[in-house]
Structure 1
Amino acid sequence: MTGTTPDTEAVAPHPVLAHRYGRAEEREGFVRALFDETAPHYDRIDRIFSLGTGPGYRRRALREAGLRPGMQVLDVAVGTGLVARQAVAITGDPALVTGLDPSEGMLAEARKVLPGVTLVQGRAERIPLPDDSVDFLSMGYALRHVADLGAAFAEYRRVLRPGGTVLLLEIGRPESRLARMVERFYMGAVIPALCRIAAPRHRSGELMRYYWETIEACVPAETILGALDAAGFRDAACATELEVFRAYTARA
């Protein structure tokens, strides 16, 4: 069975951004086109954004959430494989890792660096995998791009085996005013400008500007934890580092 979700009111991760797309129904097409066009430059964008610290942080987050050798992993919104690469390193076998993404451009880049990993085009809200088929589900910095948190989390719960783990890496708004000002300047101005310089003829700067807009407009952590609880997960928690980096975990 695939794609079965309960009848609940949709919970969007952020309101419609009218200057990017006119209606909620247009969000998916806008986001997919944006990622398709920036896919060849995405790893460079990540290195600029994370100052080279991304791989180590992702591997540590996966291990701390409980990923171990031999586990079957689904990485939702796999992109160019930034999280999936670390999952392969931990599990020890690329055949144990499956990557899912709606962007064909991103999947094309992932295929270059993830030999042996199964890569599937699809959406978080309708995962083309059977029930109880994975031990660990990860999603790196893409929760803000789904249409409905409830539908996505219901699918995560469905494909995870009993006792399985979900790990959602995200970037959130800091609590302190000074940290918010620094984050706004860095992500809203500095990173988009650097990306426009690094890839001047592509939409890399627009992508990072959109990233910041979705972070600023995203629902609070309490809403995300509540949606996990409503989907049937237990022990939902959020660990925060440097007031910005969030790791949501829960058990099926």
Structure 2
Amino acid sequence: MTTESVNAPTQPENNDTTDFGFKQVNKAEKVSMVADVFHSVAAKYDVMNDLMSMGIHRLWKRYTIDCSGVKSGQRVLDLAGGTGDLAAKFSRIVGPKGQVVLADINHSMLKVGKEKLTNMGIIGNIDYVQANAESLPFPDNHFDLITIAFGLRNVTDKSAALASMFRVLKPGGRLLVLEFSKPTSEALSKVYDTYSFHILPRMGQLVANDAESYRYLAESIRMHPDQETLKSMMQDVGFEQTTYDNLTGGIVALHRGFKF
């Protein structure tokens, strides 16, 4: 595969279609297609995260926790929370008077997350909700903090999801979006492409017996809005003081926005 072949294609898109990796699919089909990917990878998700990032994902998540400003007694929504890495930390911070909701659209991921956190002894102040980010089943002005880590790129209508997050966030609350983004240097971008499209699928095949899901994950990263575009999307739905930090040369970015 040449370097040029990993660039996102410039296919025409109409109102009925959306991206699924580099493919254009009917919007109504994307949710089930993404679900199939995460049903497939759920059991090996944590192992693959460590292997794929060489453990660096733990530092990205720790930085997100450090930027959260969350306090004892507050309500936190960990959206697309998967296997619960962030939810586990937030549960300890908010304490028995606080609440953490681990929400994910995929029941396989939610099941793995619940089992993992229960085995860690995290019970009492955490709830598990299967939910679509585009239409969150929570009251207005409910959460002090919302995080979504490595999940927004899989959402069909990202603007609708951001608007839904804005609605359920309290005035004074903040949103943190941790997501793969665009490397800031051309040299790093080339190395990253080689890794993503040659090594990552092979790793997925060896560890999870699923090369295609990890090829999709690599493609979905390339189709995700870049740093400035995502910042503008957050501002368009009402978030203020919106900023982002590039992590690991822009391979990942942490976006922050507040509701006032």
Under a length normalisation based on structure 2, what TM-score does the superposition of the two structures give? 0.84
C-alpha distance in 1 between matches for 2:140 and 2:105: 20
Residue 255 of structure 2 is aligned to residue 248 of structure 1? yes
Distance 1:183 1:71, change over 3 A: same
SS at match of 2:133: coil
Residue 226 of structure 2 is aligned to residue 217 of structure 1? no
SS at match of 1:73: strand
Q: Which runs of structure 2 are paired with 1:34-53 in the superposition (5 Å)? A: 34-53=37-56
Q: Give the percent of matched residue pairs that are identical in Structure 1 and Structure 2.
A: 27
Q: Which residue does the alignment assign to 1:109? A: 112
Q: Match for 2:111: what amino acid?
A: A
Q: Which runs of structure 2 are paired with 1:46-85 in the superposition (5 Å)? A: 46-85=49-88
Alpha carbons 1:16, 1:22 under 8 Å: kept: yes
Q: Which residue does the alignment assign to 1:96? A: 99
C-alpha distance in 1 between matches for 2:60 and 2:224: 22
Q: Which residue does the alignment assign to 2:159? A: 150
Q: Match for 1:176: what amino acid?
A: S
Q: Match for 1:249: what amino acid?
A: R
Alpha carbons 1:58, 1:86 under 8 Å: kept: no
Q: Following TM superposition, by how much is the alpha carbon of 1:87 offset from its aligned partner in structure 2, in angstroms? A: 2.0
Q: Following TM superposition, by how much is the alpha carbon of 1:59 offset from its aligned partner in structure 2, in angstroms? A: 2.3
SS at match of 1:114: helix
Q: Following TM superposition, by how much is the alpha carbon of 1:29 offset from its aligned partner in structure 2, in angstroms? A: 0.8
C-alpha distance in 2 between matches for 1:208 and 1:47: 14
1:70-101 per-position Cα deviation (integer Å, ceiling 9, x unaligned): 32100110111122223224334596110111
Q: Which residue does the alignment assign to 1:27? A: 30
C-alpha distance in 2 between matches for 1:113 and 1:237: 33
1:161-220 per-position Cα deviation (integer Å, ceiling 9, x unaligned): 1000100001112132211111111222212212211122xx3x3222111101112222
Q: 5+ unaligned residues in a row in structure 2: which ranges?
A: 1-14
Q: Which residue does the alignment assign to 2:191? A: 182
SS at match of 2:250: coil
C-alpha distance in 2 between matches for 1:102 and 1:170: 17
1:197 aligns with one of 206, 228, 231 = 206
Query: Matched residue pairs, number?
Result: 237
Q: Which runs of structure 2 are paired with 1:218-233 in the superposition (5 Å)? A: 218-233=224-239
1:122 aligns with one of 131, 137, 149 = 131
Q: Which residue does the alignment assign to 1:16? A: 19
Alpha carbons 2:21, 2:219 under 8 Å: kept: no
C-alpha distance in 1 between matches for 2:183 and 2:242: 20
Q: Match for 2:258: what amino acid?
A: R
Q: Match for 1:215: what amino acid?
A: I
Higher relative contact order by CA 8 Å / sep ≥ 6: 1 or 2? Answer: 1
C-alpha distance in 2 between matches for 1:231 and 1:144: 17
Alpha carbons 1:74, 1:136 under 8 Å: kept: yes
SS at match of 1:22: strand
Q: Which residue does the alignment assign to 1:5? A: none
Distance 1:188 1:91, change over 3 A: farther
Q: Which moved more, 1:58-67 or 1:160-169?
A: 58-67
Distance 1:95 1:66, change over 3 A: closer
1:92-120 per-position Cα deviation (integer Å, ceiling 9, x unaligned): 45961101111111111011122322011
Q: Match for 2:39: what amino acid?
A: D
